[in-house]
Structure 1
Amino acid sequence: MFAQDALALLDQLLPVTLSNLQETVFCQVWEDKTYAEIADEYNYEHSYIRDIGFRLWQLLSEALREKVTKSNVKAVLSRYARSQTATAAQRTTVQSDLATKYASVESAALEFPNGPVPLNSRLYIERPPIEARTFAEVLKPGSLIRLKGPRQMGKTSLLRRILHHAKTHDIEVVPLSLHRVDQATLQDLDRFLRWFCANISYQLGIESKLDEYWNTDIGSKVSCTLYLEEYLLKQIQKPIAIALDEVNELFQFSQISAEFLPLLRSWYEDAKEIEEWRKVRWILSHATDIYVPLQIKQSPFNVGLSIPLPEFSIPQIQDLVERHGLRNLLGVNGINKLMPLLEVISCRPGLVRLALYHLSQQSADVDELIANGHTQSGIYSDHLRHLLAAIHPYQDLQSALLTVIASEGSVELPPMTAYRLESIGLIKLEGNMATISCRLYSKFFSQYLSA
């Protein structure tokens, strides 16, 4: 059996479509190449290729319900192929399906890109080596991962995959979204820390005993630490991954963030000496760096593994185009047709996915998306209204944004203003100099703020 024949079997077996790199690794392993040889040939890190292979064998093991490894994959798939008694008509159907690998999927079956990309979605695009690095890091005792990027960059989609990877390695996961915290809770440190402990207890299925450990004389931060260290972490046998999504929600509550974030840093540091804290893996998702007066040794934003989320590359967009079945946009000519739109939306993952969805549904063509994308009737209207609502109450932010838009180059803004605009995702910062993050935003805000 040749490698391409084996790939044909994978297309039948697996519930997800393999990425280009996964297919490459599979084919090279089939030709008896080592991970090191593959990494050298394709200019990747050895550990990254090894992790790609590990996840491939895990997917096949689940599909075939038997253990699949690098060493036995040939034997297992050959045995599976021999066991098939497909008729000639069925074989023809399989060949036809392979010839139209992505385009055969009806466009109506594509999920609308609203929120994080589902775990089982074939439309999730990996951005090497980000997934491999974070997947490896979450398995390390006492680790901390920081995912940084504005809206529409895929933070939550990646965070959910890190947690899923942790679960497959027998790690308990505790996702905490700070979008869901009551405003009243965010006004009081004691109340917030009790919320934090109670939520972790509930998700781990451990009886909450907050009142037994909370002591007003020693303070809420010490009480919270004792509750986690002396009670909760001693109750669990497995390690846990605690994920705090949208940590920047805390930034506007300076009293909470100035107290809680150094406390979080101290727990991370405690993992170096205290065994209970080594059970914890922290994952923080945030739009930008904090702008509150924290000492360097108190901030959790300068330790651990930092992962700034980039825009899609052109090859990644081509992969996504293929998965949408948009054959007319494949190849050099296709990407040239798409490039004017990509320049408008700056290859932002969420904005790219929304555009490709509408193109696949034939509800608009590229020229229409460029002409109408910034308008109230365009496909980005909901996203743009959300951004407008975020700065509408603040005249200083509106004025600063118009200054950036009007500037031919970069412009320096007051630090707090720059932080707030960057956290919303409207500007990019290089040092102290700001530029607009996306031409789509220039067209929309120059129109509405001027009006």
Structure 2
Amino acid sequence: MNSEDAFEFMNGLILEKTKISLNECERDVFLGIWASKTYGEISQEKNRDYQYVKETGPKLFKKIGTIFQINLNKNNFKPTIEQLYRQYTLRKISEISQRDDVITNLSIAQQDRPVYTDNPFIPLNDIITEQHQLFGREREITRVFETLNSGSSVALIGEKKIGKSSLLQAIYQQAPNRLLKPRKAIYLNLSLIFNDDDFYDELCNKVEIPVSKGRQLIRELQKQQLLLLLDEVQQMTWDGFTREFRQQLRGLADGQANPPLRLVIAASEHLDVLFPDSRDNPSPFQGVCIEEVIKPWGKNIVRGFIDSRLGNTQVSFTEEEIIKLIQGSGGHPQRLMYLCHRTYSRYMEGIKTAL
């Protein structure tokens, strides 16, 4: 087991037990200690404060030790994690060997219990707005708020349907509790906005100020402290959005210690590809937004997601089915949701037939 596999395994278990992922510094320390590096080497390699890294190590050992009730330190770190992995694997194999087809194993007692027929793998296409349904993105959300609280704006970059819009909704809902300096969160979906006028009209409506633009808008917004979340920001490459509009948006989000706007934007391509900066066509985000790349889930997060959705049902997917779901989805949340929905539906059809 290499360092990345070890981290993914442990982070998946911790996420399953606590609903919170290890943060980025904890990840760097985990991988560094696995590779037998000193705290000094880790801090230098990752460009982190040495004292902070040195303090993170013992806190990480204590966190893992408390969760799994083990004695963990720098010297026994790797063999202890490897032992946990072996125990987990053997337990899973035992569970699989004892598991028979859920349909033929329906006992009289089970038949007396209510059967949950509602498919838990939803929504299939919509943005997730119910926070209890959002899974496996706490690390990304934490990094976004760390960046915002450090004084920078953020760009969520990822392929279509990877979950950027759902992340924006989570940030929108969590902003009141996680921003160190309060800002009013405003969400705009640019797929429904086609030009400058549409944007100004919608923004002013959400901020509850008179519709305005230019200097008047600047004066109005300078009275505000806003967190502006822009979805489908690639729409701003359309001809309906002018050079002046881009410059004004940039000016409101940059160049001040505490600008009126702090941005969180979502796009399907990197910003230097979408908005190449030039004199004639200035980028509204160059040097303003720090990119956070949204990647597919790892296999342990996929397993945790499936377990969490099946928790209140009488259905359990077989190991073979789970492996196929991991491979078929590639860790892409929406594809995984669809494939799990289809697999669950087959189980329920079989149960209804058996009953």
Coarse TM-score class (shorter-chain normalised): 0.5 to 0.7
Letter matched to residue 294 of structure 1: D
Change in CA separation of 1:149 and 1:24 when aligned onto 2, cut-off 3 Å:
closer
Q: Tell me by how many angstroms 1:128 deviates.
A: 5.0
Q: CA deviation at 1:150?
A: 1.9
Residue 193 of structure 1: aligned partner: 196
* Matched residues, number: 245
- Does 2:326 match 1:342? yes
Cα deviations across residues 75-125 of structure 1 (Å, max 9, x unaligned)?
xxxxxxxxxxxxxxxxxxxxxxxxxxxxx993516343221122233x321
Q: Which amino acid aligns with 2:344?
A: S
RMSD: 3.6
Q: Residue in 1 aligned with 2:235?
A: 249
SS at match of 1:242: strand
> Which amino acid in the other structure matches residue 197 of structure 2?
R
The Cα shift of 1:151 comes to: 1.8
User: 3-state DSSP class of the match of 1:108?
Assistant: coil
Deviation at 1:24, TM superposition (A): 9.3
- 1:60-71 alignment runs, 5 A limit: none
What residue is the counterpart of 1:148 in the other structure? 157
In structure 2, which of residues 277, 294, 298 is the aligned counterpart of residue 294 of structure 1?
277
1:173 is aligned to 2:185: yes
Is the alpha carbon distance of 1:364 and 1:271 closer, same or farther for their aligned partners in structure 2, counting shifts above 3 Å? farther
- Equivalence map 1:353-432=2 (5 Å): 353-362=337-346
Deviation digits for residues 186-237 of structure 1 (CA, Å, limit 9, x no counterpart)? 4xxxxx33332332221122233x2xxxxxxxxxxxxx34233212332x3x
Q: Report the Cα offset of residue 175 of structure 1.
A: 0.8
Q: Go from structure 1 to structure 2 and tell me whether the alpha carbon gap of 1:136 and 1:175 turns closer, same or farther (over 3 Å shift).
A: same
Q: Does the aligned pair in 2 maintain the 1:135–1:165 contact within 8 Å?
A: no
C-alpha distance in structure 2 between counterparts of 1:117 and 1:196, whole Å:
24
Q: Of residues 311, 315, 321 in structure 1, which corresponds to 2:306? A: 321
- Identity percentage of aligned residues: 15
Out of 252, 270, 281, which is 2:255 matched to?
270
Query: 1:21 maps to what in 2?
Result: 18
| Equivalent pair of 1:258/1:293 in contact (CA under 8 Å) | no
Q: Equivalent residue for 1:284?
A: 265
Out of 102, 111, 117, the position equivalent to 2:128 is 117
Deviations 1:147-168 (CA, angstroms, capped at 9, x unpaired)? 1112220000101111111133
Q: How far 1:307 sits from its partner (Å)?
A: 0.9
Residue identity opposite 1:124 in structure 2: L
Read off the aligned partner of 1:321 and give its amino acid letter.
I
> Structure 1 unaligned runs (5+)?
1-17, 26-33, 44-103, 187-191, 211-223, 366-451
3-state SS in 2 of match to 1:328: coil
CA shift for structure 1 position 176: 0.9
Taking a change above 3 Å as real, the CA distance of residues 150 and 318 of structure 1, as seen in their structure-2 partners, is same
What code does the residue aligned with 2:304 have? D
Indicate the SS of the match to 1:206: coil
- Once the 2 structures are TM-superposed, how far is the Cα of residue 133 of structure 1 from its aligned partner? 0.9
In the alignment, the residues of structure 2 paired with residue 171 and residue 131 of structure 1 have an alpha-carbon distance, to the nearest angstrom, of 17
SS in 1 for 2:292: strand
Q: Identify if the C-alpha distance between structure 1 residues 163 and 106 changes in structure 2 by more than 3 Å, giving closer, same or farther.
A: same
Map 1:82-101; keep pairs closer than 5 Å. Answer: none
Per-residue displacement from partner, 1:378-397 (whole Å, max 9, x unpaired)? xxxxxxxxxxxxxxxxxxxx
Write out per-residue CA displacement over residues 339-373 of structure 1, whole angstroms, 9 at most, x where no aligned residue.
234333322111101211222233699xxxxxxxx
Correspondence for 2:147:
137
Shift of 1:258: 5.2
- 1:138 alignment partner, SS class: helix
Partner of 2:60: 39
Distance 1:301 1:173 in 2: 22
Give, in angstroms, the shift of residue 178 of structure 1.
0.9
* CA shift in 2, pair 1:303/1:232, >3 Å: closer
Q: Which residue of 2 aligns with 1:90?
A: none
On the 8 A contact 1:107/1:360 being kept in 2, the answer is no
Change (3 A) 1:24 1:41: farther
2:215 is aligned with 1:226: yes
CA gap 1:179/1:40 in 2 versus in 1, 3 angstroms: same
Separation (CA, whole Å) in 1 of partners of 2:158 and 2:222: 31
TM-score normalized by the length of structure 1: 0.47
Change (3 A) 1:353 1:254: same
Kept in 2, the 8 Å contact 1:117–1:157? The answer is yes
